[in-house]
Structure 1
Amino acid sequence: MSQRTTFLMPGTSQLRARAAVLALGLGASAAVGAGVAVAADARANAVALPESAAAAVQQQAAAQAKAATAAQTKSKAAAKKAAAGKAAKPSAAKTAASWVDPVKKYKLSASFAQAGNLWSSTHSGQDFAVSSGTQVFATHGGTVVKAGGNGAGDGPAYGNAVVIKHSNGTYSQYAHLSRVHVKAGQAVKTGQRIALSGNTGNSSGPHLHFEIRTTPNYGTAVDPVAFLRTKGVRL
């Protein structure tokens, strides 16, 4: 049998390896070239899109800014309204408390202008039936112009009494007191204790005789209940 002898040229394997590497390199170059082309296309598209994209972003930013401004305006308006409400409440409370009842826990008894044998003509004030020693309060702030026995100068029928002058030109009088805690010339505040109720003077039992006058003296009294109601006091 004949044998076929194959002769290899020295370095043939090396040449083949180099050829393979070259081919692989060319393929890689082609792939890289394709990638570069794709990237170039992407950059081209990126350059072409910003104008519309920027417009959309600007529109969105403008809408957000407008919404934020509207919310801020609404918040400021709500805060202003709340502050105005808070400022109004103390003012209303102050007005309601500017005049008060002269005594607490009472019953109304003899009324203004009521006829009877206890008075020379008709009753000059409003009586508040309370026990002796009940605290008597200034129905409104002012200055004491009369205080003491003998009706504080208006006669013994009133017993111990106090007269206070108020800034609106009216006077309040408190009579039949068991004890007086103020003196003429003293400034008093609304609701300040000025005396204790009693049964002094021309009195048929413990009570407070209360008057509203247009002068400090007897004979100028007006209906005290009607007057206090105009000041927000409900008797």
Structure 2
Amino acid sequence: MSKRATFQHSRRPSVSRVRGAVVAAGLGTTMVLGAGAAFAAGASASAPDAAGLVNTVAAESVAKQATVQGKAAQIAKQAVAKKAAEAKKAAKKAALATSWEAPVSHYTLSASFGNDGSRWAHKHSGQDFAVPIGTTVEAAHSGVVVKAGPNGGGDGPAYGNAIVIKHGNGMYSQYAHLSKIDVHIGQSVEKGQKIALSGNTGNSSGPHLHFEIRNTANYGSAVNPVAFLFKHGVTV
């Protein structure tokens, strides 16, 4: 055999070597593919668990956020309610301050409620406002006239000319020793409306207005008028 033939023969791989390489290559491919398939299968198996975990975390976050928002809403609601209550209280106070007034202006307080004295059979039943004769007397609160005339409007001669007004809150106001009466029984009057002129009629030691606040229209049911007016925002 020549050298050329020997050389060519040596460059040709043997059939057994080629077959071995193919088998090895196939085995490697199988191993690689098998590993990939296993990985894919594992990933597929773990996907539901991961999704569940995400959903759980999201639900907890939403719940916490809802709780925080609920507390904030409750605080805001309480603040609004507090402001509303304060506004209502202020409005009520303002209404009380403007719903009643003193029956005369530019006066001097003289005999007070509960005083003893020779001019009364019992303790003094009202508050006296010393004013000149002819001073305008105004309704201390809106209401309806239930008594008006001489003889205390029916309460007795000691009151002279007198008026009694029934008010919507169930109370009554009385104005006595008047020189002139400008209203009649059954007439509706407004707070601040002129109802009479002050005088010195009846059992009076000098010009003044005798003013009472009563629980009924009749003598004997009076309460302290100064304390009553003060409670309703009026200081005399």
Fold shared, TM-score > 0.5 on shorter chain = yes
For 2:129, what is the secondary structure of its paired residue?
strand
Matching residue's letter, 2:147: K
2:73 aligns with none
Which aligned runs of 4 or more in structure 1 are off by greater than 3 angstroms? Answer: 87-95
Provide Cα deviations, 1:72-99, integer angstroms capped at 9, x if missing partner: xxxxxxxxxxxx9xx9998865442100
For 2:158, what is the secondary structure of its paired residue?
helix
How well do the aligned residues superpose, as a CA RMSD in angstroms?
1.8
**Does residue 198 of the first structure (1) align with residue 199 of the second (2)?**
yes
Matching residue's letter, 2:149: G
2:159 aligns with 158
TM-aligned CA deviation for residue 232 of structure 1: 0.2
Q: Structure 1: which 5+ residue stretches go unaligned?
A: 1-83
2:175 aligns with 174
Provide Cα deviations, 1:45-93, integer angstroms capped at 9, x if missing partner: xxxxxxxxxxxxxxxxxxxxxxxxxxxxxxxxxxxxxxx9xx9998865
For 1:226, what is the secondary structure of its paired residue?
helix
**Does residue 228 of the first structure (1) align with residue 221 of the second (2)?**
no
Matching residue's letter, 2:226: V
For 1:151, what is the secondary structure of its paired residue?
helix
TM-score (norm 2): 0.61
Partner Cα separation in structure 2 for residue 199 and residue 127 of structure 1 = 12
Partner Cα separation in structure 2 for residue 154 and residue 120 of structure 1 = 14
Q: How many residues align?
A: 150
Provide Cα deviations, 1:150-171, integer angstroms capped at 9, x if missing partner: 0000000000000000011000
For 1:97, what is the secondary structure of its paired residue?
helix
Asked whether the equivalents of residues 93 and 233 of structure 2 are also in contact (C-alpha less than 8 Å), the reply is no
Provide Cα deviations, 1:186-208, integer angstroms capped at 9, x if missing partner: 00001111000000000000000
For 1:161, what is the secondary structure of its paired residue?
strand
Percent of residue pairs identical: 66
Matching residue's letter, 1:215: T
Partner Cα separation in structure 2 for residue 188 and residue 97 of structure 1 = 16
Higher helix fraction: Structure 1 or Structure 2?
2
1:128 aligns with 129
TM-aligned CA deviation for residue 178 of structure 1: 0.2
Asked whether the equivalents of residues 126 and 213 of structure 2 are also in contact (C-alpha less than 8 Å), the reply is yes
**Does residue 101 of the first structure (1) align with residue 78 of the second (2)?**
no
TM-aligned CA deviation for residue 121 of structure 1: 1.3
2:61 aligns with none
Structure 1 residues 199 and 188, CA gap change in structure 2 (3 angstroms): same
Instruction: Give runs of aligned pairs for residues 109-124 of structure 1, distance below 5 A.
Output: 109-124=110-125
